[in-house]
Structure 1
């Protein structure tokens, strides 16, 4: 579909096939969890399947259908990484070269980090600085350049290359690498390098484009069942490379098919070499025990379930949650995009598990819990912080409980709903590095671990894919 028009793409969308088994599962999960709207898709045995349910907005409702654009959040990091790989293919970028080769003005709080950090370390979350930086530097074409200039403010949490800790700022900087190498804005470079060659006419960045289409808005569902619309709708332009795009389910499934096929567009034309596509899906950094999986490839998050390698990357924006999982060895992909939090995240997890078992016989099992007394559990209690969030771990009736909420900077970027506190039971499980799993609620199944130094002292908590530093005793606010 290289060079296809929006009209051609819309004609393709009208041919999407809604399948009864996927639709029935999606309807059941949506009703149980009270999710506002969902679009889902599966690629299996050469066939596309789709299901849609709910509405785009509770205040201005339209049925979610094959035309609906959802924010897919951090799955966009794989688009940014693929654009980098296309520049690698052309000999214009070297993954192992210092970032300053392409962005010579880049500075960090620790000067030697700016001198040494490589392009690959941006793409596998090992740069080590505070990653959840969502500064709004305006809507002009200099937004990303101004954002990168402000990265000198970020603290270095771990040594360069030492630990995987999820890093939005690093992917924004990768977007700036693309701008400097191509001489275009990030959005135009993405259109030229990736979206147009793949015929992804329904994958968009600018709110001004998206608002002319049918699109989903984010929601938050309170404990009493009340559903409210989240504002603001869009993330700042400067973090588009980290996760600011929107798409239809069909465009997302086309993205999966591109990576499953080894780099060819839907029309069969070669866009990226199979060697580089497969390289993206190979481990570059270990993160066993993390919520993100077992390892990071080149932006892709990798994990093994039931003896099968999964390659994926979901996303979260303001009230919109997505999941995107591929099984390259089985030519299989499943995606789910919801506009409801926090319950949309649980729907995504459960739908993906269902799809893997229903279609492939791949079953994900929960880890066995450790039963410890209060004295042993108290060791883990305390306050853990990142640049964007706080997590308080307490011991309550023989159970660890984590209460998390966003700091003011994150709230400013994601809206008032971001500051709502979430309480989740945390269960320790057998394994190295003090691993745990969230055992109930919207985060059920999310894994993490407590980090220690060489002497065994507790230093932090790897929670939500980020390394949060331990800063003192728990002081959960009312």
Structure 2
């Protein structure tokens, strides 16, 4: 596959989705291939290339997890130990859960913790400690170990474990355990490190659809373990080669034992009807695509999106980044699918929904929420739509800029009796999930992107 062909696809796909700046890196046949298009910012445009820094959002999590696994390999952390062995000050509203949650529960999102706390605890070295002190405010949505539910707060707690065990700040621990030994010289947390280099700014659409630069650029420091890293597609391919290999950096240094590295890629809990994967390994989303095993992790920040996927048996990896929402995810996923098909012959197709069923539709229409967002499922009598919006009171109370909402877009139920669905239009196209019912058969929750949204009673909807 020629570099020119990849460049043509990247340029055309960026234009299709209206993304100001994108970069893609592919590792295939033992070679790096890069393509970039557009500019870092509509306000201060500079050309994007493979060395341009983008915010990775949740694609940070595998870096946090790999750092923690170095401590596991050294015998300093036990995955099956309760978190309180390392963070004895941990408190939750549910005391039994606080005592039972293990390190592995955090790494594979089975701790039963709500998605996150919207809290900025400052820029000091105590930011994570102060964040964890607020955990009694965090809702417990399930007993530990009983189900997977994606939790940003849980991964921020992993960052606190790193601090307590190493005696370093989270950022110092990840740099010394992962970034430096693997040779990731263009991956940073601190704004001053980023601003000394070329970096992308996020963009969000206004009410008329016109993109403008996202003014809120840096995530609060307490959110770094789950989503604060900035990196380049060139560094991400080096990161991919590390996870494809035997735990050695390209310098030859043994950073992680091969068996520990492979353990991260083994299923620990299955996921139902999730576009993110079939299972969690240790942090990684694991998914079979057209009969081929893959692992990876996506991420989003304010107007920036990342997609990172590895196909180990084909020695293949792809990293894609984009600097506009809400269609940055659509760009990344479209390019990843094109690359899988054209480099590997692996075809990734969405399942087809069943025809509209009015009776089943009436069972699921309504509102569902988490702490910061509401999902609205509606019907016009011929089809279903799903909308996702930041709660108005959260927007009003926040001094920070927040991402744009997802307008109502078509969704459909999937074959079978598992109450599974897929979104077929808009910025959430391809997202799959499922509805949960109580003992009486009433729909009480919906899973979207690994998060559980509980149904809002009709009287307060």
State the TM-score bracket (shorter-chain normalisation): over 0.9
TM norm structure 2: 0.96
1:107–1:149 Cα contact (<8 Å) kept:
yes
Deviation at 1:471, TM superposition (A): 1.4
- Deviations, residues 287-330 of structure 1 (Å, cap 9, x unaligned): 12123211100000011111111100010011101100111111
Distance 1:419 1:412, change over 3 A: farther
The 5 A counterparts of 1:45-194 are: 45-194=29-178
- Where 2:320 maps in the other structure, the secondary structure is strand
Whole-angstrom CA distance in 2 between matches of 1:412 and 1:348: 32
Deviation at 1:375, TM superposition (A): 2.7
Whole-angstrom CA distance in 1 between matches of 2:235 and 2:21: 18
- Where 2:456 maps in the other structure, the secondary structure is strand
2:356–2:412 Cα contact (<8 Å) kept:
no
Which stretch of the first structure deviates more once superposed, 402-411 or 428-437?
Answer: 402-411
Residue 450 (structure 1) aligned to one of 435, 438, 447:
435
What are the ranges of 5 or more consecutive residues in structure 2 without an aligned counterpart? Answer: none
Distance 1:415 1:20, change over 3 A: farther
Whole-angstrom CA distance in 2 between matches of 1:109 and 1:42: 45
Matching residue of 2:408: 423
- Where 1:104 maps in the other structure, the secondary structure is coil
1:134–1:236 Cα contact (<8 Å) kept:
no
1:235–1:414 Cα contact (<8 Å) kept:
no
Deviation at 1:229, TM superposition (A): 0.9
Matching residue of 2:451: 466
The answer on 1:439 being equivalent to 2:416 is no
Deviation at 1:262, TM superposition (A): 2.7
- Where 1:323 maps in the other structure, the secondary structure is strand
Deviation at 1:366, TM superposition (A): 2.1
Matching residue of 2:353: 369
- Where 2:403 maps in the other structure, the secondary structure is helix
Deviation at 1:424, TM superposition (A): 1.6
- Deviations, residues 81-107 of structure 1 (Å, cap 9, x unaligned): 001100001000000000000000000
Q: CA RMSD in A?
A: 1.8
Distance 1:18 1:60, change over 3 A: farther
Matching residue of 2:16: 32
Deviation at 1:163, TM superposition (A): 1.6
Whole-angstrom CA distance in 2 between matches of 1:474 and 1:263: 55
Whole-angstrom CA distance in 2 between matches of 1:288 and 1:272: 31
Residue 293 (structure 1) aligned to one of 255, 277, 281:
277
- Deviations, residues 266-295 of structure 1 (Å, cap 9, x unaligned): 223221111011110111111121232111
The 5 A counterparts of 1:3-18 are: none
Distance 1:18 1:247, change over 3 A: farther
Whole-angstrom CA distance in 2 between matches of 1:230 and 1:465: 26
Deviation at 1:216, TM superposition (A): 0.5
Whole-angstrom CA distance in 2 between matches of 1:30 and 1:411: 33
Matching residue of 1:324: 308
2:10–2:37 Cα contact (<8 Å) kept:
yes
Whole-angstrom CA distance in 1 between matches of 2:253 and 2:293: 27
Distance 1:475 1:438, change over 3 A: farther
Matching residue of 1:211: 195
Whole-angstrom CA distance in 2 between matches of 1:189 and 1:467: 31
Deviation at 1:24, TM superposition (A): 1.0
- Where 1:418 maps in the other structure, the secondary structure is coil
The answer on 1:358 being equivalent to 2:342 is yes
- Where 2:408 maps in the other structure, the secondary structure is strand
1:391–1:402 Cα contact (<8 Å) kept:
yes
What are the ranges of 5 or more consecutive residues in structure 1 without an aligned counterpart? Answer: 1-16
Deviation at 1:226, TM superposition (A): 0.8
Whole-angstrom CA distance in 1 between matches of 2:82 and 2:65: 16
Deviation at 1:474, TM superposition (A): 9.4
Which stretch of the first structure deviates more once superposed, 40-49 or 285-294?
Answer: 285-294
TM norm structure 1: 0.93
Deviation at 1:220, TM superposition (A): 1.0
Residue 304 (structure 1) aligned to one of 280, 283, 288:
288
2:272–2:434 Cα contact (<8 Å) kept:
no
Which stretch of the first structure deviates more once superposed, 192-201 or 454-463?
Answer: 454-463
Whole-angstrom CA distance in 1 between matches of 2:76 and 2:287: 31
Whole-angstrom CA distance in 1 between matches of 2:147 and 2:399: 27
- Where 1:392 maps in the other structure, the secondary structure is strand
2:14–2:331 Cα contact (<8 Å) kept:
yes
Which stretch of the first structure deviates more once superposed, 449-458 or 181-190?
Answer: 449-458
1:136–1:413 Cα contact (<8 Å) kept:
no
Matching residue of 1:3: none
2:395–2:402 Cα contact (<8 Å) kept:
no
1:405–1:418 Cα contact (<8 Å) kept:
no
Matching residue of 1:9: none
2:295–2:311 Cα contact (<8 Å) kept:
yes
Whole-angstrom CA distance in 2 between matches of 1:349 and 1:475: 36
Distance 1:35 1:475, change over 3 A: farther
Matching residue of 1:314: 298
2:326–2:406 Cα contact (<8 Å) kept:
no
2:116–2:138 Cα contact (<8 Å) kept:
no
1:336–1:348 Cα contact (<8 Å) kept:
yes
- Where 1:155 maps in the other structure, the secondary structure is coil
The 5 A counterparts of 1:221-240 are: 221-222=205-206, 224-240=208-224
Deviation at 1:235, TM superposition (A): 0.5
Distance 1:369 1:137, change over 3 A: same
